[in-house]
Amino acid sequence: MSHRMQRINELLKKEMSLVISREIDDPRIKRNMITITKVDTAKDLHHAKVYFICLDKMQSDEVIKSLNSSRGLFLAILKKRLTIRYIPTFNFIYDDSIEKTNEVLNTIRELDQKKNKELNKDEETEQHGE
């Protein structure tokens, strides 16, 4: 990804976060404490995937509907604030990468604990066998 695209993605992420926290009054969004985690904009700047997390994962479908219904507001506000030629059409996606990372880390911890128990068991057996 080019340096320019990275800057645009970060700019969109920052500005969308501000719009969500300050401009949108939809209770479905406000009560779920949404955080934009990543924006992935197409090279032609016409489309962008906006990844987010929210306080209650079970509400993510409702939050997506609410964010999609606020697309026009996002577009209007960002057109005023930003100097880029195109403001992309946003596609909102719940970001489950943090959950997947936690699952992997938990599996690693469990395996490590299992290994340590087996090592301790082997050491005890060797000590008692002497």
Domain ranges of the chain: 3-95, 96-130
pLDDT, average across residues 27-52: 92
Q: Is residue 91 within 8 Å of 34, Cβ to Cβ? A: no
- Prediction pTM value: 0.77
Does CATH number 3.30.300.20 belong to domain 3-95? yes
What single string gives the DSSP state of each residue in 61-116? HHHHHHHHHTHHHHHHHHHHH--SS-PPEEEEEE--HHHHHHHHHHHHHHHHHHHH
pLDDT at residue 129 is higher than 70? no
Instruction: State residue 128's pLDDT score.
Output: 66
What average pLDDT does the structure give for the chain?
88
pLDDT tens per residue, range 60-104? 899 999 999 999 999 999 999 998 888 999 999 999 887 788 788
Joined tokens for residue 81: 């604030």
pLDDT at residue 109 is higher than 60? yes
CA distance 108 to 88: 39
pLDDT-derived band at 112, boundaries 50, 70, 90: confident
Q: For residue 52, is it left (φ>0), alpha (ψ between -120 and 50) or beta?
A: beta
